[in-house]
Amino acid sequence: MVTGGARGIGAAITGILTARGVRVTVLSRTPQTLDVPCDTVSADVADPEAVAQAFRLATDRSGPIHILVNNAGQAASAPFLKTGSELWRQMMAVNVDGVFHCTQAALPGMLAAGWGRIVNVASTAGLTGYAYVSAYCAAKHAVIGLTRALALELASKGITVNAVCPGYTASDMTQQTIENIVAKTGRSAEQAVAALVEHNPQKRLIDPEEVASAVAWLCLLESQAITGQAIAVAGGEIM
C-alpha cells in the first residue's frame, strides 16, 4: 500500500515497486487512473473509518498488506504567530494522524505473517528546523519519533520501520512552495529555486526517483537489519 501514491514522490514509489514485481495498491483521496499496473482505493488518511474501510477493500482484493509506504502529506507555510489552530491541526491530521491510522490498519496482517516493511516518507524538516513552517516541522518530527518507537516495538517481529527524509524535491508540493515565494517576495521562479537549494551542497532539487529508490531498498528482504532509521535524501544537506 502506497498512500498518496498517484503523484510526485508517491507515483515514483508506486512505479519502482511495481517494476520490481510488487503488487501495489495506491490509496488517494480521490479516485485515480495510473499508467502502471496497480489497484486503487480512495480515502482521506486523516479519517480513521475511511482508512479502515479502504484497507479492508485492499486486503479483500489482494490479501494482507506486507509493505506500507506512508507517503501522503501536505505542507503549508506561515509565520508562527499567524499559524492558527486550523492550520496546525491540518498539518498534524494529514502528516501524523494519517501515518498512525494507516499503520494501525496494516500492522495486524504483518504481525500474522511475521514479516513486514513500513516506510514513512518524512522530510528533512523532521531532522532540522525551517523558518515559517513550524507546524509542518513539528508534524514531520513526530513522524520520525513514531518511526523510532515503533521500530523498537516490532524489532523482534520480522517487521522493520524506517523513514526517508527528502530535501526539496521536484514535485507538486515544491512547485507550490516556489509559487508562494514568487507571489510573496516578487522573486523570479529561478531565484526561488536557488533559495530553496541554497543549503544543498549539490545545489539542486532532488529527483522523486531518488527518493523512490531509497524506499525500495528499505523494502528488500536483505534490508532486515535496517530499522528505526531516518535516512536523508538531500544531497548532503543533513549529515
Residue range 2-167+206-233 forms a domain whose CATH class is: alpha beta
Q: Please tell me the predicted confidence (pLDDT) of residue 72.
A: 96
Q: Please tell me the predicted confidence (pLDDT) of residue 178.
A: 87
Residue ranges covered by each domain of the chain: 2-167+206-233
pLDDT at residue 31 tops 80: no
Cell numbers given for 92: 498534524
Inter-axis angle of helices 208-218 and 8-19, nearest 10: 50
pLDDT at residue 179 tops 90: no
Q: Please tell me the predicted confidence (pLDDT) of residue 176.
A: 83
Q: Please tell me the predicted confidence (pLDDT) of residue 171.
A: 83
Question: Residue 24 and residue 3: Cα distance in Å, rounded?
Answer: 10
Average the pLDDT over 96-120 and give the result: 98
pLDDT band at 152 (very low <50, low <70, confident <90, very high): very high
Average the pLDDT over 144-152 and give the result: 98
Q: Please tell me the predicted confidence (pLDDT) of residue 222.
A: 97
Question: Residue 191 and residue 114: Cα distance in Å, rounded?
Answer: 50
The model's pTM is 0.94
Q: Please tell me the predicted confidence (pLDDT) of residue 100.
A: 98
Is 132 noted as a catalytic residue in this protein? Answer: no
